[in-house]
């Protein structure tokens, strides 16, 4: 069996890494294709170093552009590589434009497509990621879903249950493995020189950071949270809008806020594990927070990770300033509630998702189901 892995952004590198690593260890042939959607050292190459995966065999170097142009360029180049490499199965992960381009290009070449983190739905079609997930799922042959809820979403869309594998999320594999390494090697906390409690903040969703009103509400709330040190590694999209809307100086001059560049995976995991709270609009962070028992406050009005909310580890606050500050105050002042959030059961598995995914692939290969023309 020959597997083609397609990745394009920071979370795809992190979540695909455990499967790539296992593929390599088992001596299975593979080709790694990077779309180049993320290209800064700290958004891409740093993760190859931290996660100890080999350099991609191909980097399409698509860079930043409008959705249409970026997706079209990726499709064109991915098609060329797949035609040349002739893999038995093409693996995509998550909900970015690279997933959309990879799944469409592969399925039009009549190649089997395995979608890792399939079946997630926010039911919010204004999110580009929701469109990408749905299209990728309609092009897929095998669905590696993290939870029963995501399996049900696919069942409601008439996907054959034999093609759905409940595997947990590979982010747990990555988290468990790399936290140990981070604890031994990371100097970040010393470098940040933080006293007391930490709130780790990340945001990059277009609907938050590109919308002046929502961005202002969130930042006003953060400014008010003076009793806790806010560590804020800034995503490049967010840096652009903080600069454009003139917020950067104000944030840099706030004593309780520490702005940093995007942080490598090892340092970030350590930071997260030592945080009292995480506040985020990231998908992966909602999963990692519950994995590491850190209460999560999500800066969104909906989530495709509802299991984290049902389990009690995640609260959705949207971009409402009062809701954000009041929620943090409420949890900080209520030890029992804080503990309950910390103890929320992780719905994403025990850290063996990559093994489950590879087993399913080998089973499908053995049964001849990867050949979708037969």
**Nearest alpha-carbon partner for 89 in 148, 156, 163, 153:** 163
Q: Residue 233: which of ligand UDP, ligand UD1, none does it interact with, CB under 5 to 8 A by kind?
A: ligand UDP
Instruction: Give the closest residue to 99 by CA, choosing from 122, 69, 78, 123.
Output: 78
DSSP conformation class of 162 = G
- x-or-dash string of contact with ligand UDP, 222-261, rule CB under 6 A: -----------x----------------------------
Our measurement of the distance from residue 244's CA atom to the centroid of its chain's CA atoms, rounded to an integer in Å, reads: 26
CA–CA–CA angle 318, 348, 90 (5° rounding)? 100
End-to-end CA distance of the chain: 16
- The yes-or-no answer on residue 204 being catalytic is yes
Q: CA 297 to CA 308: how far, in whole Å? A: 11
Considering CB distances under 5 to 8 angstroms, the limit depending on partner class, which of ligand UDP, ligand UD1, none binds residue 97?
A: ligand UD1
Distance of closest approach, residue 37 Cβ to ligand UD1, in angstroms: 5
Is 150 a binder of ligand UD1 (CB under 6 A)? Answer: no
Please enumerate in sequence order all residues whose Cβ is within 8 A of that of 272, keeping only pairs 6 or more positions apart, or say none. 200, 278, 285, 288, 289, 292, 294
Nearest by Cα to 265 from 104, 119, 51: 51
Stretch that binds ligand UDP, among 10-18, 28-36, 209-217, 325-333 (CB under 6 A): 10-18
Site for ligand UD1 in 111-140 (CB under 6 A): 128-129
Specify the 3-state DSSP secondary structure of 216: helix
Is 11 among the residues that bind ligand UDP (CB under 6 A)?
yes
Q: Does 10 bind ligand UDP (CB under 6 A)?
A: yes
Catalytic residue among 34, 38, 178, 204: 204
Question: What is the C-alpha separation between 314 and 81, in angstroms, rounded?
Answer: 40
Smaller CB separation from ligand UD1, 11 or 18: 11
Region from 4-12, 17-25, 309-317, 334-342 binding ligand UD1, contact rule CB under 6 A: 4-12
For 47, list phi and psi in degrees, rounded to 5.
-75, -30
Minimum CB–partner distance for residue 362 and ligand UDP (Å): 27
Q: Give dist(CA 56, CA 40) in Å, integer.
A: 15
Site for ligand UD1 in 186-215 (CB under 6 A): 204
Binding-site size, ligand UDP (CB under 6 A): 16
- The residue ranges that bind ligand UD1 (CB under 6 A) are 9-11, 37-40, 43, 64, 95-97, 128-129, 204, 236-237, 240
- The residue ranges that bind ligand UDP (CB under 6 A) are 10-11, 14, 171, 202, 204, 233, 262-263, 265, 268, 282-285, 288
Active-site positions? 204
């Amino acid at each position: 069996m020959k597997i083609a892995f397609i990745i394009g952004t920071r979370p795809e590198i992190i979540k695909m890494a455990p499967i790539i690593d296992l593929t390599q260890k088992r001596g299975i042939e593979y080709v790694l294709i990077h779309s180049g959607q993320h290209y800064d050292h700290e958004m891409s190459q740093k993760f190859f170093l931290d996660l100890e995966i080999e350099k991609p065999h191909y980097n399409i170097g698509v860079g930043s552009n409008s959705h249409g142009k970026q997706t079209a360029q990726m499709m064109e180049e991915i098609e060329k590589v797949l035609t040349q490499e002739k893999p038995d199965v093409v693996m995509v992960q998550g909900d970015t434009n690279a997933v959309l381009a990879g799944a469409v290009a592969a399925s039009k070449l009549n190649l089997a497509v395995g979608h890792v983190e399939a079946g997630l739905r926010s039911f919010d079609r204004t999110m580009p990621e929701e469109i990408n997930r749905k299209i990728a799922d309609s092009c897929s042959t095998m669905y590696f879903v993290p939870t029963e809820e995501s399996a049900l979403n696919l069942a409601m869309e008439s996907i054959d249950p034999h093609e759905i594998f409940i595997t947990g999320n590979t982010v747990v594999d990555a988290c468990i493995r790399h936290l140990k390494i981070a604890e031994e090697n990371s100097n970040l906390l010393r470098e940040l020189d933080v006293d007391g409690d930490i709130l780790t903040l990340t945001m990059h969703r277009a609907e938050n950071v590109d919308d002046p009103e929502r961005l202002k509400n969130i930042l006003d709330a953060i400014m008010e949270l003076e009793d806790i040190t806010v560590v804020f590694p800034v995503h490049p999209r967010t840096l652009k809008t903080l600069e454009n809307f003139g917020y950067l100086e104000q944030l840099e001059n706030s004593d309780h806020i520490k702005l940093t560049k995007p942080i490598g995976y090892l340092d970030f995991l350590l930071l997260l594990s030592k945080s009292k709270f995480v506040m985020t609009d990231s998908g992966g962070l909602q999963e990692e927070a519950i994995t590491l028992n850190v209460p999560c406050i999500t800066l969104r009005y909906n989530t495709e990770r509802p299991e984290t909310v049902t389990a009690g580890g995640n609260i959705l606050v949207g971009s409402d300033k009062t809701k954000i500050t009041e929620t943090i105050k409420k949890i900080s002042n209520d030890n029992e509630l804080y503990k309950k959030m910390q103890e929320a059961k992780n719905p994403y598995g025990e850290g063996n998702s990559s093994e489950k995914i590879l087993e399913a692939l080998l089973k499908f290969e053995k049964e001849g189901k990867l050949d979708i023309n037969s």
